[in-house]
């Protein structure tokens, strides 16, 4: 029997195996929901550590290629470029988080007559006027914000410190920009909103132009 439910208590009491569907792939975990969640969390931590180490390696290779690609060490740089192409990227697990939702302020715009609604309402009706929210005004150019966003959300999914290393020039720069923006370097990209990405991009720009 296959059961689909959002009731975790019910799943803990009933099921003996969990099938997780993610990115078009099914992975099977033994046990009930709580056991599945423990196994998934442990696996995600292992993959995150592997992805961090790989991101460091990739950042070092890319830095060497940029520095020596056209100089006396061009042959060594070409070898590293081929090595970079052969790297099989570690695929981290998507963190399951609730959606970030926000609604603007509204006010009553006026009364609605009973003949304008079908079926006719049993009581008085009114219209609502939402207030337009101003978009965030980052101190960085829009292209820099989108560049930060693309790097943070690109596979393999990993911590922002590792994901933004190349974009920021180094892991140290990435961590400095993240901390200056008030973001934990171990955070993942899908946990941030537009304001956070704008702040990271602004602080990275400040580091570059120091």
For residue 162, what pLDDT is reported? 86
| 55-92 burial code (b ≥16 CB/10 A, e <16) | beebbebeebbeebeeeeeeeebeebeeeeeeeeebeb
For 24: left if phi > 0, alpha if psi spans -120 to 50, otherwise beta; the answer is: left
- Record the tokens describing residue 6, joined without a space: 């959002």
Give the list of residues 6+ apart from residue 148 with CB closer than 8 angstroms, or none: 164, 167, 197, 200, 201, 204
For 115-143, write each residue's pLDDT tens digit. Answer: 665 556 566 777 777 777 665 555 557 78
Ranges 46-60, 83-97, 111-125, most confident: 46-60
Nearest by Cα to 7 from 33, 28, 29 = 33
Q: At what angle do helices 33-68 and 74-86 cross, to 10 degrees?
A: 160
For residue 7, what pLDDT is reported? 87
Domain with CATH 1.10.8.100 in the chain: 142-208
Higher pLDDT, 135 or 95: 95
Averaged pLDDT score across all residues of the chain: 82
Termini Cα distance of the chain: 63
In the chain, the percentage of residues whose pLDDT exceeds 70 is 82
- Identify the weakest region by mean pLDDT among 27-31, 104-108, 119-123: 119-123
For 142-208, CATH gives: 1.10.8.100
- pLDDT category at 167 given cuts 50, 70, 90 is confident
Q: In DSSP terms, which residues pair with 163 in a beta bridge?
A: none
With a cut of 90, say whether residue 32 has pLDDT above it. yes
Give the list of residues 6+ apart from residue 82 with CB closer than 8 angstroms, or none: none
For residue 133, what pLDDT is reported? 65
């Amino acid at each position: 029997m296959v059961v689909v439910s959002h009731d975790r208590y019910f799943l803990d009491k009933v099921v003996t195996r969990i099938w997780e569907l993610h990115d078009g792939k099914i992975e099977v975990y033994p046990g009930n929901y709580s056991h599945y969640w423990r196994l998934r969390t442990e696996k995600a931590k292992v993959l995150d550590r592997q992805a961090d180490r790989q991101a460091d390696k990739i950042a070092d290779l890319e830095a060497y290629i940029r520095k020596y690609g056209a100089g006396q060490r061009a042959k060594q740089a070409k070898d590293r470029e081929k090595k970079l192409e052969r790297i099989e990227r570690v695929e981290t697990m998507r963190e399951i988080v609730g959606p970030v939702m926000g609604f603007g302020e509204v006010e009553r715009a006026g009364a609605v007559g009973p003949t304008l609604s079908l079926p006719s309402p049993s009581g008085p009706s009114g219209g609502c006027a939402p207030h337009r929210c101003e978009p965030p005004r980052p101190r960085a150019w829009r292209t820099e914000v989108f560049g930060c966003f693309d790097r943070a959300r690109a596979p393999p999914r990993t911590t922002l410190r590792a994901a933004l290393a190349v974009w920021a020039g180094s892991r140290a720069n990435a961590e400095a920009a993240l901390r200056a923006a008030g973001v934990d370097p171990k955070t993942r990209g899908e946990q941030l909103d537009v304001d956070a990405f704008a702040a990271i991009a602004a602080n990275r720009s400040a580091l570059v132009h120091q």
